[in-house]
Structure 1
Amino acid sequence: MTHTHFFKTIVGLALLAAGSSFAQMTPVGTWHSIDDKTGEAKAEIQIVDKDGALSGRVVKSLRNDPNAKKTCDDCKDDRKGKDIIGMEIIRGVKPDSSGENLWANGGKILDPENGKEYTVKMVPLEGGKKLQVRGYIGPFYRTQTWLRAQ
């Protein structure tokens, strides 16, 4: 192997590693939502980028409770009465221009257990292993820290 080929290989691997670590500093991916009151994993959420805006769906329940709600009876919009599994609970989240690795810009998150919709801000933490999810209604907010699914 020539020195030039070796150098190009090393640079390519470094760029690949940098790219994959940058990709992890985004909310895009699969997450385990963690209940802010009990600390228990509630659901697996898949967040995707659709045309520059993030959306997220509940892909499965992580609860063992057979009495857990299965539909969003308290929802006020097109999700009323729909199954929680498969439901889009995150809509319209965009990167914030502050450069602080903040995702917000008027995006919304729904709590399908109570039908409340919050303005949401999301911040990847610890190299993208965790996601701080903060939902606001006026000056009041709830914060959860979700864990990236393996």
Structure 2
Amino acid sequence: MQCKTLLSALLLTVFTATAAIAQDITGTWKSIDDKTGSSKAILTIHQEKNGTYTGKVVKITPRPGYTPRETCIDCPAPYTNKPILGLEVLKDLKKLNSEEYANGRILDPLTGKTYSVKAKLSSNGKRLQLRGYVGVSALERSQTWIREN
């Protein structure tokens, strides 16, 4: 009987540890264009020493009928004329709980617009729903990122 209890406790610990790992947004993500539904770029998110999260473009995804820009032409300083590849487009995102993040900033390097951003991680940890907004969050733009394996 003790063996079953010990085994059950061990399995519960492993399951809990696995679930905790799935609830983190660090890793590689594919951004999906909210207007066309096609992939725009591959990004990596990492946690800074201060606990906030930063995301960087690591690959620009080719799309039919679209010639990708190489630099951030219409972007505000310090992003102006910087290469999009390697650009930190997500900054200062803070974890609120196991699924929700807020108070960050996100840059759309194709338009040069910056937005306040909040994000929600799906329960299985495979989708990140980002909502960029200016002023109040009722005036927002949404985008889904899909975790890359």
Please classify the TM superposition score into its range, dividing by the shorter chain length: 0.7 to 0.9
Unpaired runs of 5+ residues, structure 2, are none
SS in 2 for 1:107: strand
CA deviation profile, 1:49-78 (whole Å, cap 9, x unmatched)? 012000000010122456211110111121
- Contact 2:117–2:130 (CA<8 Å) still a contact in 1? yes
Tell me the residue number matched to 1:148: 147
1:43 to 35, 41, 44: 41
Alignment identity in percent? 36
Unpaired runs of 5+ residues, structure 1, are none
C-alpha spacing 1:84/1:5, structure 2 compared with 1 (3 Å): farther
Given the two structures, how large is their TM-score scaled by the length of structure 2? 0.87
1:129 to 126, 132, 144: 126
For 1:6 and 1:49, how far apart are their aligned partners in 2? Answer: 39
Tell me the residue number matched to 1:113: 110
For 1:50 and 1:8, how far apart are their aligned partners in 2? Answer: 37
Tell me the residue number matched to 1:78: 78
- Contact 1:27–1:122 (CA<8 Å) still a contact in 2? no
Given the two structures, how large is their TM-score scaled by the length of structure 1? 0.86
**What is the root-mean-square deviation of aligned Cα atoms in Å?**
2.0
**Residue identity in the other structure for 2:72:** C
- Contact 2:45–2:55 (CA<8 Å) still a contact in 1? yes
SS in 1 for 2:18: helix
For 1:80 and 1:91, how far apart are their aligned partners in 2? Answer: 16
